[in-house]
Amino acid sequence: MSIQVNNISKTFGSFAALKNVSLTVNDGELVALLGPSGCGKTTLLRIIAGLEFPDPASGPVLFHTDDVSRQDARRRRVGFVFQHYSLFRHMNIFDNVAFGLRVRPRNVRPNKAEIKHRVESLLNLVQLERHAALYPWQLSGGQRQRVALARALAVEPKILLLDEPFGALDAKVRKELRHWLRRLHDEMAITSVFVTHDQEEALELADRVAVLNTGRIEQVGTPEEVYDHPANPFVFNFLGNVNIFHCRDKEARQQVGLAQAAAATTGEKVAAAYVRPHDIEISRAADSETIPARVVHIAAAGPVAKIQLARLDTREMVHAEITRQKYRQLNLNTGESVYIKLQNPRYFSEDYVI
Amino acid sequence: MTDGKDSDTMPGITLYSRNAARTTQRNILPGFGLTLGYTLVYLSLIVLIPLAAISLAAVKIEPGQFWAAISDPRVVASYRLSFIAALAAAAINTIFGLLTAWVLVRYRFAGRKLLDAMVDLPFALPTAVAGIALTTMYAPTGWIGRLLAPLGIQIAFAPLGIVVALTFIGLPFVVRTVQPVLEDLGTETEETAASLGASRIQTFTRVIFPELLPSLLTGFALAFARALGEYGSVVFISGNMPMRTEIAPLLIMTKLEQYDYAGATAIAMVMLVLSFLLLLAINLLQRWATRSRQ
């Protein structure tokens, strides 16, 4: 079932959490709402769930073609997974998962055997079938989150919403659960939206990513689109590390070796070049487009070698990431002078405030 | 205090300390021996020794005399009144205490802080003052009593008046035990239940109430215990009519004034045993209610 929100605004007192936000999530899609804390991503998710209601002037929230704006969470039949699991402490795992089925009106409530069957198959799905009789405090964080997911899925929601589902877990468990959730989503093909502040998580897991900042959606697109073609400096900055090369005047542009910079800068409007660390090329030989720099620090442990350099002309710091193979070839040492070249720079005018 | 060193001076205490050390290895929190020792001494001086003295005095009474003292119809009537009134007051306080705690935690309104502070007033007020004030209000000529009198409802100088007084003095207990639990519970639990399709009533009965039950029971037990021993406020509002509105603590007082120490001790002993059993039962109930917690 698709989700469509139109011109949603939400103010808490004098604070505008969302400003005219519109978003469409297609049927069966997995969409990430990505942004820094306080950007309104959770508020948007809660509005979709019916746990929060937008300002009166806002447009409707549509599920498929139904306007659900006036329905509260109970009627929307949406599965919601909270960041801190929010399991019922006084119920064991089985009862937690069965809750949504047991509170149904008598005429649509499955009988005991059906509930048992359904709960057991869900616990199987989340690989917790042997934990049915335990209480939440007896489980680890990752297990609790899986219970919360099973509980949300028990009511057969048409839409699954997850609020920072992996936020409270440690890095290793987080990655495992991430892959597991993706597989689960592909099997069940249930329209899902999850909130995260972790760009890696959003880019890896989602079909499409909506990047939010200060109550607005900055860009929506596939992970490749938003990463390779960020709409503005904020998106560029938020999706990964970045080096900014200021091109305030012609001289600076030439210094940076950016012939294209002139073309990208309309008239005399000032531009800056944004370059990812892995797009900084390091070489020992100079040419017309290279900038001289000195190696300040090397962190070679891990999948890539992270090199920190200082430009010899402006003394600005530049962060580069090169493959380990390239690192071995160059045989870099701290303190050495080398030349850097900018690949795939993106130009944004500098009056844009991040 | 460390193990062994003080075994000469406080043998009993260090024995505990050693046992604890054996089972829990080294505890990061120091002072187990010191704090436990202090607690035991304190409890003994303040609670256990006086209670033991009652038991001892009760044992000294001849069985025949003891039985005669506790089976006197007037005494039996006072037990019944004391326990029923205390239970009723505690029950009323449980319901309205929950409501009060709910309002104080869940809603923001002008004067909330003031209301919150007022909850503790029954603790601060001398109970005799409370008794006199309540009597003035609820007497057939008082502000409230006058309105109820035509309806045939008498509160002051009737068992109902005792319940009113006991409700007044026990009010803070349930509020103060439930309040922190309710604050801790937050609204997320309710949102979860709502998103799973539970109605408001289902959310309350299946999710919120079970979470609050242990603290409600604690509050109930405290309010009950407090009401059972209350004397000061009740003597004013009850009228103290034998067989009708005479509570057990008052009867003990009366016996003491008549130098009938044996009779007073016997009644006190029965009160002690009955309230101990009741509190034990509430505690077991509470343990059952928290069986799923860590």
For domain B62-293, give the CATH number.
1.10.3720.10
CB nearest to B192's CB, from A82, A104, A154 = A82
Residue B64 to chain A, least CA–CA distance (Å): 51
Q: Specify the 3-state DSSP secondary structure of A163.
A: strand
Can you tell me the distance from the alpha carbon of B245 to that of A349, in angstroms, rounded to the nearest whole number? 88
A103 CB within 8 Å of a chain B CB: yes
Contact B191 A51 (CB under 8 A): yes
Nearest CA in chain A to B197: A74
DSSP code per residue over B202-266: HIIIIIIHHHHHHHHHHHHHHHHHHHHH--TTHHHHH---TTTT--HHHHHHHHHHTT-HHHHHH
Whether residue A103 and residue B196 make contact (CB cut-off 8 A), yes or no, is yes
How do beta strands A66-67 and A304-311 pair? unpaired
CB contact under 8 A, B195 and A73: yes
| Chain A contact present for B199, CB below 8 A | yes
pLDDT digits (tens, 9 = 90+) for B223-254: 999 999 898 899 888 888 888 889 999 999 99
What DSSP assignment string belongs to A166-196?
Answer: TTTS-HHHHHHHHHHHHHHHHHH--EEEEEE
pTM here is: 0.77
Residue A51 contacts B where some CB pair is shorter than 8 Å:
yes
Determine, for residues A100 and B196 on separate chains, whether the beta-carbon distance falls below 8 Å: yes
Please report residues of A whose CB lies closer than 8 A to that of B198: 74, 99-100, 103
Cβ proximity of A226 and A342 under 8 Å: no
Interchain contact A5–B (C-beta under 8 A): no
- Quick one: closest CA in A to B200, which residue? A74
Please name the amino acid found at residue B69.
A
B2: left (phi over 0), alpha (psi -120 to 50) or beta: beta
Q: B28 Cβ partners below 8 Å, 6+ apart?
A: none
Q: Are A278 and A344 in contact (CB under 8 A)?
A: no
DSSP class of residue B47? Answer: I
Domain boundaries, chain B: 62-293
> B9 at the A interface (CB within 8 A)?
no
ipTM score above 0.85: no
The per-residue pLDDT string of chain A (354 residues; one tens digit each, 9 = 90 and over) reads 899 999 999 999 889 899 999 999 999 999 999 999 889 999 999 999 999 999 998 888 999 888 888 888 888 889 999 988 899 988 999 999 999 999 999 998 999 999 999 999 999 988 899 999 999 999 998 899 999 999 999 988 989 999 998 887 888 888 888 888 898 898 888 999 999 999 999 999 999 999 999 999 999 999 999 998 998 889 999 998 888 887 665 555 555 555 555 555 544 556 778 889 999 989 888 887 788 899 999 998 888 999 999 988 788 899 999 999 999 888 888 999 999 888 888 877 765 444
Chain A 191-230, residues with CB within 8 Å of chain B CB atoms: none
Q: How far is the C-alpha of B50 from the C-alpha of B59, rounded, in Å?
A: 14
Taking CA atoms, what residue in B is nearest to A50? B195
Q: Which residue of B has its CA nearest to A134?
A: B292
- B63 shares contact with chain A (CB less than 8 Å): no
For chain A, say whether B205 makes contact (Cβ under 8 Å). Answer: no
To the nearest whole Å, the CA of A244 is away from the closest chain B CA by 42
Chain B, window 173-192: residues with a beta carbon less than 8 angstroms from a chain A beta carbon:
188-189, 191-192
Interface probe with A: pick from B108, B181, B188, B196, most Cβ of A within 10 Å: B196
- Main-chain phi, psi angles of B270, to 5 degrees: -65, -45
